[in-house]
Amino acid sequence: MQGKQFDVIVIGAGHNGLVAACYLQKAGLSVAVVEKNDWIGGAAVSRELHPGTLYSNCSYVCSLFRPEIMRDLELPRHGLQVIAYEGGAVFTRDGDYLASYRNHHAHRREFARFSPRDAESYERYARDVTRQCRFVQPLLLRTAPDPAGLMPGDIGELLFLARKVMDLSARELALMARFWTMSVADFLDEYFENNVIKAYLAISGIIGTALGPMSPGTAYVLLHHYMGEVDGNVGAWGYARGGMGAISQALAASFRASGGTIVTGSEVGSVIVRNGKATGVALANGTELDAATVVSNADVKRTFLKLVDPQVLPGSFVKGVQNFKMRGSSGKLNIALDSLPQFPALPGDCPSIRGDLHFTDSVERMEKAYDDWKDGKWSADPFVDMMIPTTIDPTMAPPGQHFVSCFIQYCPYKVEGREWTQADRDGFAKSVLDQIEQYSPGFKSRIQHMEVRTPQEIEAEVGLTEGNIFQGELTFDQLLFNRPVPGYAKYRSPVRGLYICGSSTHPGGGVMGAPGRNAASEILKDLSRRHSHMSEAHEVF
């Protein structure tokens, strides 16, 4: 690839980097994606870590990926297939379980088994949440305006937002104000009385977030997780056939089909800046690649504190980046099993085993897990989000065998201030396996291979600072025009020609692709290129 000239270099082949690269390549620019690992995908990967078994060893479910991008980039044609799964279950300590179903009425009937009153409230809840999603969804594919900015673009966008807000009724407006600031626990208390139902619904409020369900702001995190859709089914989640890596592979195929170049195994050491303008990147091995535009898919801290010389950045910007909160709070166990685990609580034909399984039956237990994290400990009673994707996609493991993904909230970046040791890792894994074993006797004996991932491993392999899966907390001070740094929320940086396109930017984390698409849109604007291949957000009715 040396000697070849590129218009754009994208640092990192995560899904957002690939999305941005696809759009830029399609606009007629020549784009190279440079990836440090020998594989692509960042945190959307399928890796064969045990013979014959594919691990979605970072992200593990799909929903948030914007359908507009999927269509623009023709991902189904390039092999992406997302299969919705049918709900899941929360196991209770008294041996019962609360199942969830995609079918609204089935779901409501199951709620009624626990509390008839909550089943009634669920109608009101679902309506309120859906309304808020409809308000926020179109904003995902728009660059957030700068409220302190006086450019016509900002004022136009602010007017657009104001008009949208004016369209809401007083009640919706009040609900929105409350949705954005409340804790998910308080929010759910306004609808439901049953602890198991509240625990089930609170899950989306804490995944990936260094906050407990009783912390204000988690109601928004819940909304963030609800905004996805599978096959137009808002709020549904699914598996990518072949694991989450299938998304990256489809993006890469789409990118290559339009003539793009991907270089793996090449770590970028620094971004070259001359006279306040990015002119290319220097690889860790010393090779320099020139390009007038550099797009970083790395998180904002890695990009501006490691790859760019701080001398060329304004002090206030560097401070803003330093103040950006990226807290590792999640861990994972990726497990290969020789057979399907049994859950005595579930009836034999229950479809829940194909969905998300949880063992935390009260909001208070989740909050206590968070308290342990605040003290720098992994939780003695962890919250586990467990999935067995091979129940729907058997191609991921040899016949009869299964891959299990256990996502654990909360897991600290440092154990009481020190680095993780092997004994710590074992202790962390044991706390999770012990919990699963209680609900699935014999689970441990089925294990053939297990990968333990604490925030430290996630940081080392994927490059996410502190192992934060969202490239930055989703608290209000880090959303919209504040993400990642006030005044720099438009994917541009103080260095001309250097852009950021990762989840550190609006609208934030999850395998969504929106940050990459929005960044590409801003870059094309700067280069005065046409956007004809880029759809606007679909109208949601």
Partner 1 sequence: MKFFDVVIIGGGHNGLVAGELLARSGRKVAILEAGERFGGLAASYEFAPGLSAPICNFISKIPSFLHEKLQLEKHGFTNGKTGADTISLDAGSETLVLHGSYGAQLSGVTPEENEAFQTLRKRLMLQARLFADLERQVPVQPGSASFRQKAAIAYSMAKQRLSGTEEFRQLLRMALMCVADVTEEAAIGPRLCGLLGFDATLGYRLGPRSPTSLMGLYSRLAREIAGKGGGIVANSAAEGIAEVLARAASASGAVLMAASKVSSITMENGRATGIVLESGAEISARHVVSSISPIATFGQLVGYQNLETGFGREIALLRHKGSVSKLFLALDAWPDLKGGARYVHAPSTAHVETSFNAVKYRQMPSDPPFEFVICREQTGKAAAIVSVTIANTPYDLDAGWTGGRKKLASSILTRMNLLVPGLRKSVIASEVLAPPDIEARFNLPGGHWHHHDYQSDRMYALRPALGAGNYRTPVDGLWICGAGTHPGGGVTGLSGYLCASELMAERNGRWPA
The nearest distance, CB 283 to partner 1, in angstroms, is 34
Give Rg (Cα) of the chain. 23
Closer residue to partner 1, CB minimum distance, 290 or 477: 477
Question: How far apart, in whole angstroms, are the C-alpha atoms of residue 69 and residue 56?
Answer: 22
The nearest distance, CB 58 to partner 1, in angstroms, is 26
Vertex 302: Cα angle to 288 and 485 (nearest 5): 120
How far lies 502's CA from each of 128, 217, 351, 513, 515, in Å? 30, 22, 36, 9, 6
Vertex 77: Cα angle to 75 and 81 (nearest 5): 65
Closer residue to partner 1, CB minimum distance, 432 or 474: 474
Closer residue to partner 1, CB minimum distance, 237 or 413: 413
Alpha-helical regions (H) of 392-513: 422-439, 455-462
The nearest distance, CB 155 to partner 1, in angstroms, is 13
The nearest distance, CB 482 to partner 1, in angstroms, is 5
The nearest distance, CB 218 to partner 1, in angstroms, is 8
Closer residue to partner 1, CB minimum distance, 131 or 277: 131
The nearest distance, CB 439 to partner 1, in angstroms, is 24
Q: Which residues pair with 263 in a beta bridge?
A: 34
For helices 195-206 and 218-226, angle between their N-to-C axes, nearest 10 degrees: 80
Closer residue to partner 1, CB minimum distance, 69 or 184: 184
The nearest distance, CB 168 to partner 1, in angstroms, is 8
* Cβ–Cβ under 8 Å, residues 263 and 33: yes
The nearest distance, CB 214 to partner 1, in angstroms, is 6
Residue closest to 336 by CA, chosen among 440, 446, 241: 446
Q: Which residues pair with 408 in a beta bridge?
A: 331, 384
Residue closest to 297 by CA, chosen among 66, 51, 8, 61: 8
The nearest distance, CB 240 to partner 1, in angstroms, is 33
Closer residue to partner 1, CB minimum distance, 53 or 183: 183
* Cβ–Cβ under 8 Å, residues 295 and 501: yes
What SS3 state is found at 24?
A: helix
Closer residue to partner 1, CB minimum distance, 190 or 231: 190
Torsional class of 319: left (φ above 0), alpha (ψ -120 to 50), beta (otherwise): alpha
What SS3 state is found at 23?
A: helix
Closer residue to partner 1, CB minimum distance, 187 or 403: 187
The nearest distance, CB 140 to partner 1, in angstroms, is 20
Question: How far apart, in whole angstroms, are the C-alpha atoms of residue 485 and residue 487?
Answer: 6
12 residue type, one letter? G
Closer residue to partner 1, CB minimum distance, 193 or 288: 193
User: Burial level of 350, CB count in 10 A (0-12/13-18/19+)?
Assistant: middle
Contact residues toward partner 1 (CB under 8 A) are 147-148, 169-171, 173-174, 177-178, 181-183, 186, 189-190, 211, 214-217, 316, 323, 325, 364, 367-368, 371, 374, 475-477, 481-482, 486-487
Instruction: Count how many residues are written for the chain.
Output: 541
The nearest distance, CB 356 to partner 1, in angstroms, is 25
Tokens at residue 112, please?
Answer: 């009624």
Closer residue to partner 1, CB minimum distance, 70 or 480: 480
The nearest distance, CB 194 to partner 1, in angstroms, is 16
The nearest distance, CB 306 to partner 1, in angstroms, is 20
Closer residue to partner 1, CB minimum distance, 182 or 196: 182
Q: Pairing between strand 293-296 and 53-55?
A: unpaired
Q: Which residues pair with 240 in a beta bridge?
A: 82
Tokens at residue 451, please?
Answer: 């990968």
Closer residue to partner 1, CB minimum distance, 181 or 535: 181
Tokens at residue 475, please?
Answer: 């608290």
Closer residue to partner 1, CB minimum distance, 274 or 374: 374
Q: Which residues pair with 336 in a beta bridge?
A: 403, 449
Tokens at residue 53, please?
Answer: 């078994």
Give CB contacts under 8 A, 24+ apart, made by 536-539.
536/68, 536/141, 537/68, 537/137, 537/138, 537/140, 537/141, 537/142, 538/67, 538/68, 539/138
